[in-house]
Amino acid sequence: MDRQEALEQAGSRETARAALQMASSRSREEEKQIRAEWSNLGVRVTAVDYGGDFVPSVMRIVERAVVAAKREGLIADSHGEEGAVAGAAHEAVAQISAKALGLNVGGKIGVARWDMHVVVVLFMGVGLVHLNEVCLGLGHRAI
């Protein structure tokens, strides 16, 4: 089965795969390559960096996901689509909150959209100085 067939059969999983690839990309150049590959299949993707103390960062993570998705044309400037990205970002944050509470976080947010599927992935280091754990959170919404 090729990627296009997989996308049509399991849109949410393939959209999640695209967001995960963006969130775990190492550089802007790699992001561009990933964006081009998924764009050929009709999947729109973006990524944005973030970091800081976890608790104050929660709101910024959600905001950055929404702003990046709007800036790159993944979603329209509508309450429903912005809410879908915010909800997916909040779900991803909730998945890593127990590990990150009270610590510093830093990493990348990956967002992908295909058809009605929107996925937000957080890929981050959590900890103090150089004593870091690696966390992954993923949220999905349908628009």
Confidence band for 128, pLDDT divided at 50, 70 and 90: confident
Fold of 3-142: Hut operon positive regulatory protein HutP (3.40.1510)
- The domain locations on the chain are 3-142
Query: Is the pLDDT at 2 greater than 70, yes or no?
Result: no
pLDDT at 1 over 80: no
Distance of alpha carbon 6 from alpha carbon 90, whole angstroms: 27
Instruction: Taking residues 22-42, report their average pLDDT.
Output: 96
Binned at pLDDT 50, 70 and 90, residue 62 comes out as very high
Percent with pLDDT over 90 in the chain? 85
Query: Which residues in 16-26 are b (16+ Cβ under 10 Å) and which e?
Result: bbbbbbbbbbe
What is the average per-residue pLDDT within 89-114?
95
Task: Please choose, from the candidates 83, 35, 43, the residue with its C-alpha nearest in 3D space to the C-alpha of residue 63.
Answer: 83
Q: Would you say residue 54 has pLDDT above 80? A: yes
Output the CA torsion sign for 32, 36, 37, 38: positive
- CA distances 30 to 16, 57, 82, Å, are 17, 25, 26
Which of 2-6, 52-56, 81-85 has maximum average pLDDT?
81-85
